[in-house]
């Protein structure tokens, strides 16, 4: 029996009661009258009222317990952050620490005796030195390609000894017994996971807040969000707090934060990088699969991280992954590419700054000898709602097998495959090597307004549905001229609710980053990265 609380049509004197309990109370009332015809009506009502009190009280208590767990876990996280800030404030003088560890024993003893140095300062200086030396003592031939590089990790990716909450109180305080596959790979490569980053509750929106950790803000505008669901990574890297991070993407969750925060990100083909140990998004749903991928401050960092992770060691650690290490021979090709180009999706208008960014990218690629042609892919709102949304959100919070009949699920799978065939035929008919297009259709959104932009997810989600690799890179920033065009119906027609929402939210966006995405065929991450790197270099030189 469902435990969802909804109000049904009930007698007027019982309208306050949850439908489930009213039904139970009515059955109990009838039962008591059946077994004890002589029982007084007042006593029967008393029993039912008592049961009602117990039921409602128990539900209120469970809600109280849930809120308390959320507050307790959130406070724990905030206290840990404050402790780290205090430690960094108190011991950020690295020159002093370097001086301490290089003192002779006599000089060290003298300064400790005089009080010039505190014992805790000396202890911390030597602890830091010892920790760093564990890596530095490794001989060069045993150092991994990410040796000593700090890497931030999205909180939905398991880290041994820490909980992996998904923003849900029910998962708080459940410490993971092992690292996720990607974390194991990073550690084997010499990287140092040093920080965990925020995301929206359940990871199924491009907002970035949850009841446990709160709201993450855009690094350039505290009134706006960093995108999601890997928004914590986007904000941290965009704000200079990390050089490389690991996010995940089932609908744009790497590309959207990368785009709006002005950083670089890659959504690989699902399964090219292991996702085992990630919070279970849509457990039981396999038609649209999650991808784990890198995000970085610059293009060089994205290439380095991807090359390192797509290693033979990763394939050995995860034997179910396709044994396809990074293919440098594809990445380093110099032949001219044939690239598709589009600015609209099924009538949805891209922000004027986004259109400008795409034409700027087109010109940059053509300056490098590549051919860029107009390509209108079969990306449409029908595919978004009927295929992607049906597959990913079709369970309405329950496991898919409990919501859809098996036959319905098979029909949906058939439709998705037909759409994949249609898209691939359109791609092949133009003889394309890759495609460039918009990521978000707008810059960073004001916190709390994300729901008005939901439909624009068509720009990213359909590449998850298709399972094509796609990367986002920054191209330009919003200008005053872009704002003028947004407010001019001749250059930016207000054809729907989405365009009207973009217009309302455009004030104050000057200077915010705008990016584009580069798309390749499945398992062609090397082509995507090559295109991104060449485009980035061309833009830098223009």
CA 502 to chain centre: 22
CA 474 to CA 499: how far, in whole Å? 22
Whether the CB-CB separation of 129 and 154 falls below 8 Å is answered with no
CA 202 to CA 30: how far, in whole Å? 42
Residue 193: helix, strand or coil by DSSP? strand
| 203 assigned ligand-binding residue | yes
Pairing relation of β-strands 513-519 and 291-296? unpaired
CA 330 to CA 513: how far, in whole Å? 30
Residue 485: helix, strand or coil by DSSP? helix
Whether the CB-CB separation of 489 and 227 falls below 8 Å is answered with no
CA 38 to CA 43: how far, in whole Å? 11
How many other CB atoms are there within 10 angstroms of residue 163's CB atom? Answer: 17
Pairing relation of β-strands 470-477 and 264-267? antiparallel
- In 190-297, which ranges are continuous DSSP H helix? 231-238, 255-261
Active-site position among 209, 242, 248, 253: 253
| 248 assigned ligand-binding residue | no
Q: Which residues contact 243 (CB under 8 A, 6 or more apart)?
A: 149, 150, 237, 296, 297, 301
Angle in degrees, CA 425, 430, 433, rounded to 5: 95
Active-site position among 154, 307, 362, 485: 154
DSSP assignment of 380-410 equals -HHHIIIIIIHHHSTTTTS-HHHHS-HHHHH
Whether the CB-CB separation of 73 and 212 falls below 8 Å is answered with yes
Active-site position among 152, 229, 275, 291: 229
Q: Which residues contact 304 (CB under 8 A, 6 or more apart)?
A: 145, 146, 244, 296
| 250 assigned ligand-binding residue | yes
Catalytic annotation present for 229: yes
Pairing relation of β-strands 513-519 and 214-215? unpaired
DSSP assignment of 410-451 equals HHHHHHHHHHHHHHHHHHHHTT-SEEEEESSSSSPPBTT-GG
| 394 assigned ligand-binding residue | no
Sign of the torsion angle spanned by Cα atoms 276, 270, 447, 202: negative
| 424 assigned ligand-binding residue | no
CA 511 to CA 145: how far, in whole Å? 35
Name the CA radius of gyration of the chain, rounded: 28
| 251 assigned ligand-binding residue | yes
CA 244 to CA 230: how far, in whole Å? 13
Instruction: Supply φ then ψ for residue 520, to 5 degrees.
Output: -130, 175
CA 29 to CA 21: how far, in whole Å? 12
CA 359 to CA 352: how far, in whole Å? 11
Residue 294: helix, strand or coil by DSSP? strand
Q: Which helix (H) or strand (E) holds 244?
A: strand 244-249
Question: Hey, which residues are catalytic here?
Answer: 154, 229, 253
Binding residues: 203, 229, 250-253
Binding residues for substrate: 203, 229, 250-253
């Amino acid at each position: 029996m469902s435990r969802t609380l909804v109000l049904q049509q009930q007698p007027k004197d019982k309208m306050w009661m949850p439908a489930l309990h009213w039904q139970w109370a009515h059955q109990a009332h009838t039962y008591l009258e059946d077994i004890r015809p002589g029982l007084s009506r007042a006593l029967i009502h008393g029993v039912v009222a008592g049961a009602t009190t117990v039921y409602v009280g128990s539900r209120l208590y469970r809600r109280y317990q849930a809120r308390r767990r959320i507050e307790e876990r959130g406070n724990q996280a905030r206290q840990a952050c404050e402790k780290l800030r205090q430690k960094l404030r108190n011991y950020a003088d690295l020159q002093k620490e370097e001086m301490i560890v290089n003192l002779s024993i006599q000089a060290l003893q003298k300064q400790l005796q005089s009080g010039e140095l505190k014992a805790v300062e000396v202890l911390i200086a030597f602890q830091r030195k010892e920790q760093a030396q564990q890596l530095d003592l490794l001989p060069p031939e045993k150092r991994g390609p990410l040796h000593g590089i700090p890497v931030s990790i999205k909180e939905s990716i398991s880290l041994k000894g820490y909980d992996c909450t998904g923003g849900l109180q029910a998962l708080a305080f459940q410490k993971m017994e092992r690292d996720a596959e990607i974390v194991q790979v990073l550690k084997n490569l010499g990287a140092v996971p040093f920080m965990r980053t925020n995301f929206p509750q359940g990871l199924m929106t491009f907002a970035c807040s949850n009841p446990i950790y709160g709201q993450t803000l855009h690094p350039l505008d505290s009134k706006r969000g960093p995108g999601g669901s890997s928004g914590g990574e986007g904000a941290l890297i965009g704000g200079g707090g990390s050089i490389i991070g690991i996010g995940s993407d089932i609908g744009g969750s790497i590309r959207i934060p990368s785009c709006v925060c002005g950083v670089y990100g890659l959504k690989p083909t699902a399964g090219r990088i292991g996702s085992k140990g990630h919070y279970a998004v849509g457990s039981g749903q396999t038609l649209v699969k999650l991808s784990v991928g890198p995000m970085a401050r610059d293009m060089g960092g994205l290439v380095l991280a991807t090359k390192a992770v797509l290693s033979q060691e990763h394939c050995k650690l995860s034997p179910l992954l396709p044994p396809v290490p990074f293919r440098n021979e594809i990445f380093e090709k110099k032949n001219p590419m044939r690239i598709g180009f589009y600015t609209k999706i099924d009538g949805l208008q891209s922000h004027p700054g986004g259109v400008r960014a795409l034409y700027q990218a087109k010109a940059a690629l053509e300056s490098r000898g590549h051919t860029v042609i107009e390509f209108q892919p079969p990306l449409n709102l029908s595919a978004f709602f009927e295929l992607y949304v049906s597959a990913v959100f079709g369970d309405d919070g329950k496991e898919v097998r409990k919501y859809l009949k098996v036959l319905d699920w098979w029909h949906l799978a058939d439709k998705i495959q037909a759409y994949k065939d249609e898209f691939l035929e359109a791609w092949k008919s133009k003889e394309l090597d890759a495609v460039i297009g918009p990521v978000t259709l707008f810059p960073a959104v004001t916190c709390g307004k994300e729901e008005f932009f939901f439909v624009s997810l068509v720009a990213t989600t359909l590449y998850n549905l298709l399972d094509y690799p796609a990367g986002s890179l920054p191209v330009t920033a919003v200008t005053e001229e872009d704002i003028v065009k947004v407010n001019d119906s001749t250059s930016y027609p207000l054809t729907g609710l989405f365009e009207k929402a973009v217009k309302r939210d455009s004030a104050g966006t000057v200077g915010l980053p705008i990016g584009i995405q580069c798309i390749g065929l499945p398992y062609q991450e090397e082509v995507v990265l090559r295109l991104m790197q060449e485009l980035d270099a061309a833009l830098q030189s223009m």
